[in-house]
Structure formats: C-alpha cells, structure tokens
Amino acid sequence: MSTTTLKPTDIQAFTAEDFSPPDAFVNFCTNGGQPLDSIIGGKRVPGSMNAAIDVINPGTKEVLARVAEMGYDEVNLAVECGYQAYHGGWKRTSVEERAALVLKLVELFERDKDVFLACEILNGGKVSELAEGDMGVVRRSAEYFVGIARKALFGDSVAIRVGKRMNGYTHVEPWGVVAGIIPWNYPVVLTAWFMMPALMAGNCIIIKPSEETPLSALYFAKLAEEAGFPAGVINVLPGRGELTGKFISEHPGIRYISFTGSPGVGQAILQAADKHGTRVKREMGGNGSAIVCSDADPELVARMIGRNVNQHYGQTCSTIHRVFAERSVFEDFLEASQGFFKELVIGNQAKRGTQLGPVINSRQPQRIMEGIAFAKAKGADAILEGGHALVPGCDGYYLKPTLLRSPTGSNCNPSEVFHAFVNVQPVDSVEQALQFANNTLYGLGSSVWTKDLELGQRIAKQFRDGTGQVNCHNTVADGIPYAGQGISGGPGGGVSCTDTLRDYLQTKAIYVSEYPG
Ligand code: NAD
C-alpha cells in the first residue's frame, strides 16, 4: 500500500461540470409525444392499465419524459416471453455466445454514454463527477462476470459412486426467468450489477427500474435489441413498486428476484415471494458509521468523511450518518466538518461547481426533516440545521446539509436518513466507539480512520457490517462481495463476486441407480 500525502484542502466534495443533454436523450424522452413503452418479448408494450408516470428532473421539476406503467397482464406477458426465449434457445447458448452479446451491449453503452450520463444527471440528480464514475462500472462488471462465467461449472459435475449400484452428480443450470428490482440512486450501476451476472449465468431477465429513474433501463433495452439479444431475453417493465413491483414479487413463474432498495420494501418482497417459493436476494439500506481515532489528523479526516457523507448528497446506500470521534480530536474534527459542510455549493446538478444538488422527489425532504427532528428530540444539537434551500431560478428539491453533535452513548439517528446528514459524538475509546457503532439493526458499511493500520483492521473486522473499511468508505470492488448484514441485506452471496454468479444458478442433485431388474 503506498502512502499519500494529501493536504486537507486537496479533498473536495464531488462537483458538477456544466451539462446539457445530447439530442439522442431529448429525442428518446420526447418519443413523438407518446409515453415510453415497456420492452417485453422484443416489442414495445404500452400497458393495459393505460397509465403513465411523469419522469422529472428533481433540480427543476421539469417533466423529462412520460413512461407507461406496467400492470399484472404485462408481468405475466414478460414471464411468458422470458420462458419462450429461454426454452427457445437462450438456455442452450454457450458462455462465449452470451459473452459476445454482453460485450456488444457494453460497446453500444459506451457509444451512447452521453445518454446514460443525461439519465443520471438530469433525472437522477447527480453531479457529473460522480455520474462519470458510474459509467465505468458497466464495462468492469460485464468483463468481470464474463471471466467468472468462463470458469464456472455449468451442467453436470463428475459423477461419484454413492451406493452399491448408484451414482450421484450435480447439475447446474440457470433459474430460467429472474427479475431485478432496482432503486433510483444508482440506476446504471445497479442495473449492470444485476444484469451482467444474471445474463452470463444464462437467465432471461425482467428489469423493474424505479418509477423515479426508469430511463436508463429502457435505453439499455433499446441497445440490447441493437446488440442482437434474442427477443424476450431482456425485458424492462417500468411502474410503481406497489403495482408493478408487487406483481413481480407475487409471480410464481419468476424463479429468482434480486432486490436492491430499502429494508421495509425488501422485507415485504421476501414475504410475498416466499409464499410461492421464489428465492430472493436483497441488498438494502444502511446507516453507516465512521470511527475517528485519536491518532488521526482531524482536519484531513473530517474532509475525507465529509466527501463520503456527501457522495450523491448522502443518497448512497452505505453513507455515513454516524461519526464517533475520540475526545482528543473531537472538537477539531467537528470544527473541520462544519467548515466542509458549510462550504458545499448548493445548486442545480447540471451547473458547474454544484456540490449539493437536489434530493430525488417531493417525499424525501419530509423524511429527512423527520430524521433531523427525531435526532434533536433525542438530545442532538444542530451545528448546521439543514432545512430547505433556495436555488435561484431552479424550482427543485434542495436541502441544506445537517451536522449534529450528540451526547456520548445517545442513539439519535437509528434509521437511514439519506441526505448529507451526519451526527457526531465524542467517545472515550475506540472500543466504546465500536460498541455504539454496532448498536444498530443495519449492517452495510462502516469505517475506521487511523494511522495505525493494524488497529484499523482489527476494528474493521468487528463491525457488524458486510463491509469494514480502514481510511476509506463507500468502497466496492469486483471480486469482493458487497453484501449487507442485519436488515441491510441477505440472503445471497452479495454483489460483484464469484458467489453472485452462483445466486443466478440452481444446483440439482441427480442420482442414477442401475435398473433393479
Ligand atoms: P425502495 O425500497 O423504495 O424501492 C426500490 C425498488 O423497489 C423500486 O423499484 C420500487 O419501485 C420497488 N418497490 C417498492 N415497493 C415495492 C413493493 N411493495 N413490491 C415490489 N417492489 C417494490 O428504495 P428506493 O427509495 O428506490 O432506494 C433507496 C433505498 O435503496 C435506500 O434504502 C438505499 O440505501 C437502498 N440501496 C441499497 C443498495 C445496496 O446495494 N445495499 C444500493 C442502492 C440503494
């Protein structure tokens, strides 16, 4: 590991460049004045409910597109088309045939990267620095799972003698039709994380994007057709969770569901799917913590933590909402944090210099305000109050950052708040910090900040989270599972690792005995 000599001032929040949408995005969204249809079995399907959803720019409330909402009939149709494609040939494709199509899709994605950037920036509300970073995930995820699939065992294992006249072996095959239910905060990344392993395992897929951000999934479906995927292999069904999502989770023909979203919805999906035996893996929200040790430079670490807290304005699943700082560095850390958050440039996400853009929809401000009020009622003092922010000329959902200071041992924000919201607490020791950090039902990602890498690793291993980090946060890498514990995730192998491909495959035991005659 190389040591870097960063100065505090080197560390800045993710920042926007000016962004204007390409014509291809505008034309795609305009769609001749008609709502964008779903793509089912290679056809554009307007939906039997005759309902459409406005897809907005949260920074201006401008309607970017209208998208048709899919109902029960379309979920049924997608399952049917998926099985037709599966049994009609997709099941028998080789890994190399699937790899060629997946990599062609990536090539087309890169050709039209500006359209996807427009989806992330204008519809998702992200600043360009972060949105650009998301784009690289698509190729990395595709190439990673092509590599894993090339080494995976499909079909029959070597038979072993299991009885006097009996052999046994395993048979590994795809589930058939699987669904991915995706949230709004990282639509391109999370669609890729579902789509690449599910397709490389040999399944036909149904993507249910968030009703807030359905555009990139629909554009992926358009590119899939151009790439040459057979009709029915990739189906995209936009709609609200309580309708389209619910119908998916209640459909017995879908053999596996990969859900990413909030714990409450994940629990509901698990219950619904369990009634008919559909397996479910869930990657859900967090309430991340960071421990600042007494040997850390409080100013440097405050800015590093601040950058991570403000990644997508705190709308990142494992964002840090709780900081425990040892007393000797606490006051300096708090002061430096205040400086960082006060400096954040609040503005439209498509304007150069913006660092804190809009939250995704009209419901989020209420939820965030409730989180702030709850923490204050439990004894937290506001260093930075949060609350609505005005951005001249932009009628969007803008909020100021919130920095709270709370008494040692108080559990002031037990739930994910999902904004640039951080509650800092003084602690007497690292062990005490660990105890407080683990006093939560969540378990996605936490970090410890120290010069002592031995101590850091010891602490990182004791978090009750799926991911423990030393001097970094919001970290993911192909080959290392990203998976929550507690109400943040499971079961399943997590994303982006060898076990992920296994999640999309079923293993059957086959026994063969000689004929008893
Ligand atoms: P959400 O749970 O409200 O929605 C996620 C998806 O589920 C959407 O497509 C939605 O339409 C659908 N849905 C909603 N109700 C449903 C129902 N009853 N049945 C079936 N589907 C339903 O989450 P969100 O607000 O879109 O996203 C934010 C949440 O996602 C946060 O909690 C965040 O931490 C979490 N998240 C987790 C990860 C991770 O990898 N662990 C990654 C990104 C986001």
pLDDT at 2 over 90: no
pLDDT at 4 over 70: no
**Pocket mutation for ligand 1, best pick of 126, 185, 243, 265 (most atoms within 8 Å of C-beta):** 265
For residue 342, the CA-to-ligand 1 centroid distance in Å is 30
For residue 317, the CA-to-ligand 1 centroid distance in Å is 10
Provide the pLDDT for residue 99.
98
Using one digit for the tens of pLDDT, what is the confidence trace for 328-365? 999 999 999 999 999 999 999 999 999 999 999 999 99
Ligand 1 neighbour 444 (Cβ under 6 A)? yes
Structure tokens at 12: 């800045």
For residue 48, the CA-to-ligand 1 centroid distance in Å is 25
Using one digit for the tens of pLDDT, what is the confidence trace for 72-116? 999 999 999 999 999 999 999 999 999 999 999 999 999 999 999
Ligand 1 neighbour 246 (Cβ under 6 A)? yes
- 337: three-class secondary structure by DSSP: helix
User: Which domains, from first to last, does the chain contain?
Assistant: 23-284+484-509 (3.40.605.10), 286-470 (3.40.309.10)
Using one digit for the tens of pLDDT, what is the confidence trace for 364-378? 999 999 999 999 999
Provide the pLDDT for residue 6.
86
Res. 492 pLDDT band, cuts 50 70 90? confident
Q: Are 435 and 414 spatial neighbours (Cβ–Cβ below 8 Å)? A: no
Q: Which residue has the tokens 């000797």?
A: 328
Nearest CA to ligand 1 atom 18: 242
User: CA nearest 51: which of 191, 216, 218, 237?
Assistant: 237
Provide the pLDDT for residue 459.
98
Ligand 1 neighbour 204 (Cβ under 6 A)? no
Active site (catalytic) residues: 283, 317
Using one digit for the tens of pLDDT, what is the confidence trace for 286-314? 999 999 999 999 999 999 999 999 999 99
**Pocket mutation for ligand 1, best pick of 123, 181, 313 (most atoms within 8 Å of C-beta):** 181
Provide the pLDDT for residue 178.
98
Ligand 1 neighbour 348 (Cβ under 6 A)? no
Q: Are 184 and 212 spatial neighbours (Cβ–Cβ below 8 Å)? A: yes
Sign of CA dihedral 97, 102, 105, 107: negative
Ligand 1 neighbour 314 (Cβ under 6 A)? no
DSSP state of 157: -
d(CA 339, CA 319): 19
Q: Are 206 and 248 spatial neighbours (Cβ–Cβ below 8 Å)? A: yes
Q: Are 67 and 240 spatial neighbours (Cβ–Cβ below 8 Å)? A: no
pLDDT at 1 over 70: no
How much is the mean pLDDT over the chain?
Answer: 97
**Pocket mutation for ligand 1, best pick of 210, 251, 321 (most atoms within 8 Å of C-beta):** 210
- 134: three-class secondary structure by DSSP: helix
Mean pLDDT, rounded, for 143-162 = 98
Nearest CA to ligand 1 atom 43: 317
Nearest CA to ligand 1 atom 30: 261
Q: Which atom of ligand 1 is nearest to the CA of 212?
A: 26
What 3 state SS string does 269-280 have? HHHHHHCCCCEE
Q: What's this model's pTM, rounded to 2 decimal places? A: 0.97
Structure tokens at 517: 């005659």
Pairing of strands 256-261, 279-284: parallel
Provide the pLDDT for residue 3.
56
d(CA 486, CA 357): 31
Using one digit for the tens of pLDDT, what is the confidence trace for 429-465? 999 999 999 999 999 999 999 999 999 999 999 999 9
Pairing of strands 166-174, 505-513: antiparallel
Nearest CA to ligand 1 atom 16: 241
Q: Which atom of ligand 1 is nearest to the CA of 488?
A: 41
> In terms of C-beta density within 10 A (0-12 exposed, 13-18 middle, 19 or more buried), how is residue 31 classed?
middle
